[in-house]
Amino acid sequence: MAGRRTLDLEGLQSLIDALRDRGYRVVGPTVRDDAVVLAEITTLQDLPGGIGDEQQPGHYRTRPRDDGALFGFATTVQSAKPVLFPANELLWRGTRSPSGFEVSRDVPDDAPVALFGIRGCDLAAVGIHDSVLVGRPAVDAHYARRRDRSLLIAVTCSTPAGTCFCASMGTGPRPGDGADLVLTELLDAEGHRFLIESESPAGADALAHLVTTPATAADQAAADEVVATATAHMGRRLRTDDLHDLLYASAESPRWSDVAERCLACTNCTMVCPTCFCTSVEDVSDLSGDIDERHRVWDSCFSLEYSRLHGGAVRTSTGARYRQWLTHKLAAWPDQFGMSGCVGCGRCLTWCPAGIDLTAEVAALREELAHRETSRTGPRPPSTDH
Q: What percent of the chain has pLDDT over 70?
A: 96
pLDDT, residue 251, reads 94
Q: Averaged over 103-128, what is the pLDDT?
A: 91
318-343 pLDDT, tens digit per residue, is 999 999 999 999 999 999 999 999 99
Q: Residues 162, 54: contact at Cβ < 8 Å?
A: yes
Read off φ and ψ for residue 237, nearest 5 degrees. Answer: -130, 150
Read off φ and ψ for residue 354, nearest 5 degrees. Answer: -90, 0
Mean pLDDT of all residues belonging to the chain: 92
Q: How confident is the model at residue 1 (pLDDT cuts 50, 70, 90)?
A: very low
51-107 pLDDT, tens digit per residue, is 999 999 999 999 999 999 999 999 999 999 999 999 999 998 999 888 888 888 877
Q: Would you say residue 174 has pLDDT above 50?
A: yes
Q: Averaged over 33-47, what is the pLDDT?
A: 97
pLDDT, residue 101, reads 83
pLDDT, residue 385, reads 66
pLDDT, residue 98, reads 83
By C-alpha distance, which of 272, 279, 281, 274 is closest to 298? Answer: 279
65-76 pLDDT, tens digit per residue, is 999 999 999 999
Q: Would you say residue 225 has pLDDT above 60?
A: yes
Q: Would you say residue 178 has pLDDT above 90?
A: yes
pLDDT, residue 165, reads 97
pLDDT, residue 381, reads 65
- The CA angle 305-310-313, to the nearest 5 degrees, is 35
Residue 99 exposed, middle or buried by CB count within 10 Å (0-12, 13-18, 19+): exposed
Q: Averaged over 207-230, what is the pLDDT?
A: 94
Q: How confident is the model at residue 2 (pLDDT cuts 50, 70, 90)?
A: very low
CA distances to 201, 211, 255, 280, 295 from 286, rounded to whole Å, are: 47, 54, 47, 20, 14
Q: Would you say residue 156 has pLDDT above 90?
A: yes
243-272 pLDDT, tens digit per residue, is 999 999 999 999 999 999 999 999 999 999
Q: Averaged over 222-237, what is the pLDDT?
A: 96
Q: Residues 329, 337: contact at Cβ < 8 Å?
A: no
State the DSSP H helix or E strand holding residue 306, giving kind and residue range, or none if neither: none
How far, in Å, CA of 110 to CA of 201, rounded? 23
pLDDT, residue 374, reads 79
340-375 pLDDT, tens digit per residue, is 999 999 999 999 999 999 999 999 999 999 888 776
Q: Would you say residue 379 has pLDDT above 90?
A: no
Strands (E), the chain: 4-7, 25-32, 35-40, 51-56, 59-64, 88-97, 100-105, 113-118, 150-155, 181-188, 191-198, 213-214, 279-285, 291-298, 308-309, 312-313
Q: Averaged over 172-177, what is the pLDDT?
A: 94
